[in-house]
Structure 1
Amino acid sequence: MKIKQLIIAGTLLVSVASFAQKDELKALKKIYAKAEIKGADLAEYKSLVAKVEPLATEESDKVYAGFYKAMIPILEYMALDKTMTQLQIQMAVSKFVSPKSISELANGLNATLDYEKKTGKKVQTDDILETITSFKPELLNFAVALGNQKKNKEASDVLYSIYQLDKKDIENLYYAANYAVNGQDNETALKYYRELKAINYTGEGTIYYAKNVASGEDESYQSKSDRDNLVRLKTHVSPRDEKIPSKKPEIYKNIALILIEKERFDEAKVALSEARKENPKDSYLLTAEADLYYKSKDLVTYRKLINESLEINPNDAGLVFNLGIVSNAENKLDEAEKYYLKAIELKPDFMDAYLNLSDLKLRPDPKLVEEINKLGESQKDLKRYEVLKAERQKLFNTAMPILEKAHELDDKNEAVKSNLMNIYKFLELNETEKYKALKAKM
């Protein structure tokens, strides 16, 4: 009997909580329906939200509890004293508007729209759509302000939430991805770029310009009819149209570059292949793809891609230099020298090309030294020493002007200074002004 009583008592408690929850939801709905919510009403509204949210069990109650909670920043904004200065308003807004609150707003409103679409009962749908239309410009201004403060990740979060509120405005997703890149949040940027790719966003369009007669400034319009009407009214003149190019190549390219940076090379190869279809003339992409194959030690494909890139940019000294590196790695020394010289011809101050060329010229020296150290005192060995010494002199005389040019370009480079000092000593140039000047810097 006691057990039954306990069960009945427990059921009564649940029922009481459920009734209380329903009452609080009704009270929330009543306050929300008021034309103006501020002061005591706003405080009571927030108190009711805090009470009802943990008690909500049924789907409809959870949805509307989430809706009323999500709307708090909007209601706080509407309750502000609009006679305050703009700076005072901004400071007040910063206390209750944040990337997190805007994300919660988007989630709460979208959940309510989805629920009412499913049930066929439009309780808050019209109000939500009106709220989105009214407050989206304010939210966009907030995102721009965050970006101006270099709070790129936060700006990205806000723009993505605005996109969630109104998915017709895909440009907000595109800018959310860009801000994520600027905020070094590449994983989020990759997610957003892939979402843009999945919906086949291009961003193509036309901006309609006309010059304001009064100010003399060009003004832009999204609608041709709006611009043309002003021209007809003679408040504007000199109409012109400007095409917005497709952002699709950039999106594909950024996906590929993020994957490379994250060292997800297999995915990056696929992404680069797709990106190149969208950017067939982009030598940077070709070089990025070539670098992937270089890292995987596929020098044949690497060379092929660099040559393709050179067909687009034949005067790119960096690409020519890269071919020199590959030839060097393949021990094709004559070919490497040809490429290093070509790179210097294209870019006379190409420091790395001078360094690699000097290394190439001095490459035989360690073997010459090794053989010299093995020689004895016999007449045969002494003759051999003279031959090897002459070979070293020839090497050093060839490398010296290259290293001197490198030193001229960068007089702080320790390796260059050390090599030059050794060459001057070996060639017995100790008394020259060049040697004395260099020694003074050591």
Structure 2
Amino acid sequence: MKTKFLILASLCFSMVGFAQKNEIKAAEKALKGGNAGAAKTALEAVSGSISGADEKLQVQYYFTRGKAYAELAKKGDNSAFEEAASSFQKVLELEEKSGKKKYSDETQQHMKALSADLVNSAVEDNGNKKFKEAAEKLYTSYKISPQDTSYLYYAASSAVNGGHYEEALKYYEELQEIGYDGSGVVYKATNVETGQVEEMDKTQRDLMVKSGAYKDPVDEKTPSKKAEIVKNTALIYTQLGKDDKALEAYKAARASNPDDVNLILNEANLHYKLGDKDKFKELMAEAAAMAPDNADLHYNIGVINMEQGNLEEARVAYKKALEINPSYTNAQLNLSTTYVNEGNSLIDEMNSLGNSKADIAKYDELKQQKDSLFLEGASVLEDALKTNPDNQSILTQLKNIYGAMGDNENFMRIKKLLGE
């Protein structure tokens, strides 16, 4: 009785193996006929039992499955990319283990083609603002072809563009783990016929120049992307509310890139967000010393000084910004405001005075100082109107100053310019 059972079991396994072979052959036939959907259906029929098949049959199954899903991906099934990639990778794993590499070379070719299809599809997704899908495809392409580390970098960029910060953070951290640099050399030459500068690989470029079809070869170095990656990592930590990790990231980034003024600016903004205005001010001054011709830097230094009541320092910063960019409207408005704020600060003292002769004299003195400050603020904006006569913000602030001074003539003049 036991012998009969073993015979029956053997017959069952033989029948399963026979069915598996038939379904794989059916899938192969469907693929040859251009019917990837039918191939997928045939393969699904044996997917639950394939793990028990011998390695040779498993390899054939996964190779066929990879081709079927690759075809489905080409026809627009985005979910098929991952299935194709995992099937092809399974082929390589099994053949590496067995030492028999019947399908390995062809599988490698299919994987290269799949990677190219993934990248092309990701480019299209980015163009259609499908950033999450683009990032996932680029990451899959990187996993298929780990030597092409730029795919991982572009996956992170796509995720950032779509606001998918958790995914982007994962990609950026992986880039740092593998020591991605991103620098390189771009080989260019000018097409003699069209006059256009074109990029190509070095061998092709040199051959084309030698043939006379191209001229003026240029080897253009591309900068390292390490600072950008660390900076973006810090920005994402900030976006996710992980401020301590963001500060650590900036510290690491600045240690390796001490001359990157943008890193200083981003760290300064984080300190400002955290309420550490003294550190913000310190870093902004450091950045201004590194980039003395950056008007925005000086403007931001003015803003923080004005918020802290350091009006003289704020004026110095705003004036520096205006030296660099004379039409910097916000700097003009804020510079004017420093004078108005100082003038307003005298009003409480004026109102606290009594009616004695000394108090009246003091009142007149303070009023003269206030009006002088208001006039200084108005003068800044009158100069601004010379180059920007229709700016509503400038006109409105100027009208308010003249109104506060009781200068009805100028008040009505500006009001007319505002169309009121």
Which TM-score band (shorter chain)? 0.7 to 0.9
Letter in 2 for 1:160: Y
Separation (CA, whole Å) in 2 of partners of 1:332 and 1:198: 45
Q: Which moved more, 1:239-248 or 1:304-313?
A: 239-248
Could you give the per-residue CA deviations for residues 347-367 of structure 1, whole angstroms, max 9, x where no partner exists? 212222223222221224445
Residue 337 of structure 1 contacts residue 357 of structure 1 at CA under 8 Å; is this kept in 2? Answer: yes
Aligned pairs for 1:254-273 within 5 A: 254-273=232-251
Q: What is the CA distance between 1:102 and its match in structure 2?
A: 1.1
TM normalised by structure 1 equals 0.76
Q: What is the CA distance between 1:106 and its match in structure 2?
A: 1.9
Secondary structure of the equivalent of 1:206? strand
Q: What is the CA distance between 1:388 and its match in structure 2?
A: 4.1
Q: Does 1:27 align with 2:6?
A: no
Residue 173 of structure 1 contacts residue 196 of structure 1 at CA under 8 Å; is this kept in 2? Answer: yes
Aligned pairs for 1:127-276 within 5 A: 127-210=106-189, 219-224=198-203, 226-229=204-207, 238-276=216-254
Q: Does 1:74 align with 2:70?
A: yes
Letter in 1 for 2:88: L
> Judging changes above 3 Å, is the alpha-carbon distance between structure 1 residues 398 and 258 closer, same or farther for their aligned structure 2 residues?
same
> Judging changes above 3 Å, is the alpha-carbon distance between structure 1 residues 230 and 373 closer, same or farther for their aligned structure 2 residues?
closer
Secondary structure of the equivalent of 1:242? strand
Separation (CA, whole Å) in 2 of partners of 1:56 and 1:292: 55
Q: Does 1:402 align with 2:380?
A: yes
Letter in 2 for 1:155: A
Q: Please point out which of 320, 334, 351 is paired with 2:312.
A: 334
Separation (CA, whole Å) in 1 of partners of 2:18 and 2:340: 89
Q: Does 1:50 align with 2:15?
A: no
> Sequence identity, in percent?
33
Q: What is the CA distance between 1:163 and its match in structure 2?
A: 1.5
Separation (CA, whole Å) in 2 of partners of 1:429 and 1:215: 66
Residue 323 of structure 2 aligns with which residue? 345
Could you give the per-residue CA deviations for residues 12-43 of structure 1, whole angstroms, max 9, x where no partner exists? 99x96x7775444322433455696226x756
Gaps of 5+ in 1: 1-7, 78-92
> Judging changes above 3 Å, is the alpha-carbon distance between structure 1 residues 160 and 24 closer, same or farther for their aligned structure 2 residues?
farther
Secondary structure of the equivalent of 2:155? helix
Could you give the per-residue CA deviations for residues 365-384 of structure 1, whole angstroms, max 9, x where no partner exists? 44543345556666666555
Residue 210 of structure 1 contacts residue 227 of structure 1 at CA under 8 Å; is this kept in 2? Answer: yes
> Judging changes above 3 Å, is the alpha-carbon distance between structure 1 residues 168 and 412 closer, same or farther for their aligned structure 2 residues?
same
Aligned pairs for 1:89-108 within 5 A: 93-96=74-77, 98=78, 100-108=79-87
Q: What is the CA distance between 1:265 and its match in structure 2?
A: 1.8
Could you give the per-residue CA deviations for residues 68-121 of structure 1, whole angstroms, max 9, x where no partner exists? 5443233458xxxxxxxxxxxxxxx4443x2x2212222332244334434545
Could you give the per-residue CA deviations for residues 124-171 of structure 1, whole angstroms, max 9, x where no partner exists? 433321212344434433333333444333332222212111112222
Separation (CA, whole Å) in 2 of partners of 1:411 and 1:215: 46
Letter in 1 for 2:332: Y
> Judging changes above 3 Å, is the alpha-carbon distance between structure 1 residues 21 and 253 closer, same or farther for their aligned structure 2 residues?
farther
Could you give the per-residue CA deviations for residues 214-244 of structure 1, whole angstroms, max 9, x where no partner exists? 66655544243x4445555666555443333
Separation (CA, whole Å) in 2 of partners of 1:21 and 1:377: 111
Separation (CA, whole Å) in 2 of partners of 1:68 and 1:356: 70
Q: Which moved more, 1:61-70 or 1:242-251?
A: 61-70
Separation (CA, whole Å) in 2 of partners of 1:149 and 1:233: 40
Number of residue pairs matched by the alignment: 409
Q: Which moved more, 1:272-281 or 1:206-215?
A: 206-215
Residue 103 of structure 1 contacts residue 157 of structure 1 at CA under 8 Å; is this kept in 2? Answer: no
Residue 132 of structure 2 contacts residue 164 of structure 2 at CA under 8 Å; is this kept in 1? Answer: yes
Q: What is the CA distance between 1:287 and its match in structure 2?
A: 0.9
Letter in 1 for 2:301: L
Q: Please point out which of 400, 412, 419 is paired with 1:435.
A: 412
Q: What is the CA distance between 1:314 and its match in structure 2?
A: 0.9
| CA root-mean-square deviation | 3.8
Secondary structure of the equivalent of 1:319? helix
> Judging changes above 3 Å, is the alpha-carbon distance between structure 1 residues 222 and 290 closer, same or farther for their aligned structure 2 residues?
same
